[in-house]
Homo-oligomer: A and B are copies of this chain.
Amino acid sequence: MSGTDMDVPSMVRAPLPSPVPAEEYEQCPVTDVLRRVGDKWSVLVIVLLGKRSYRFNELHRGIETISQRMLTRTLRGLAADGLVHREVFPTVPPSVEYSLTPLGRTLLVPLSALADWVVQHRAEIAAARQSRS
Contact = CB atoms under 8 A, between A and B. Distances in A.
Interface of A: 1-6, 8-9, 11-12, 15-16, 19-22, 25, 28-41, 43-44, 47-48, 50-52, 58, 61-65, 79-83, 103, 106-119, 121-122, 124-125, 127-129, 132
Q: Count identical subunits in the complex.
A: 2
Contacts of A122: 29, 33
Given A6-B50, A12-B48, A50-B6, A106 B117 contact: yes
A21 B68 CA distance: 16
A4 B8 CA distance: 23
Nearest to A115: B30
A61 B116 contact: no
